[in-house]
Amino acid sequence: MITIDPALWSRLHGASVHFPIALTLASLLFEGLEFLSPRMSSLKTQLHAAARFTIILGALGTIPAVCSGMLMTRGNPWGHDALLLHHLFVWPAFAGLVGLGTWRGLVGDPASRTGLAIYLTVLFLVTGLMAGAGYWGGELVLNS
């Protein structure tokens, strides 16, 4: 019988969640820098591309984070107290990040200003949700 270290999933979860967090924050940063950079510059194009690939990788990074988290909580999607608060932020952030990654992956660089504005608004909201999820996740770890 193969025995698995009970702390394995929590260690994996702790390690894997930081990839989507960092990549989404990086994508938001690149979008911000792109907004500030001069028009028609090659830097603008590079920042757009960097923002696109980081959000796609961030969305892909949610897969190991969510899988390890579900194995850690034994498939309990909500829980109680800080775990419940963590999940209330996690699930909308997960859905938002998958949606953003898919949309940006298909569209590339948004052509319309409306599309870009909506995308940036949702990206900002998702980053906020991830911050909330990270805060309550940290409370689970550091307050224990």
Partner 1 sequence: MNSSFEVKALGWALVAVVISCGTAGLASILINSMPDSSSSSFHDFSSPVATTDLIDQGRNDYEQSCSLCHGDEATGDEGPNLHRLPVSNAYITVMIKKGIKGEMPSFAQKYDERQIAALVSYLRSLP
Residues near partner 1, by CB under 8 A: 1-6, 10, 62, 66-67, 70-77, 79-81, 83, 91, 94-96, 98-103, 106-112, 114-115, 140, 143-144
Phi and psi at 41, nearest 5°, equal -90, 155
- In the bound state with partner 1, the residue whose beta carbon lies nearer, of 47 and 126, is 126
- Nearest distance from C-beta of residue 124 to partner 1, angstroms: 17
Q: How far apart are CA 98 and CA 100, in angstroms?
A: 6
- In the bound state with partner 1, the residue whose beta carbon lies nearer, of 1 and 36, is 1
- Nearest distance from C-beta of residue 81 to partner 1, angstroms: 6
- In the bound state with partner 1, the residue whose beta carbon lies nearer, of 40 and 106, is 106
Q: How far is CA 21 from CA 94, 105, 144, in A?
A: 11, 18, 22
- Nearest distance from C-beta of residue 60 to partner 1, angstroms: 11
26, amino acid identity: A
- Nearest distance from C-beta of residue 139 to partner 1, angstroms: 10
- In the bound state with partner 1, the residue whose beta carbon lies nearer, of 33 and 98, is 98
- Nearest distance from C-beta of residue 3 to partner 1, angstroms: 5
- In the bound state with partner 1, the residue whose beta carbon lies nearer, of 42 and 114, is 114
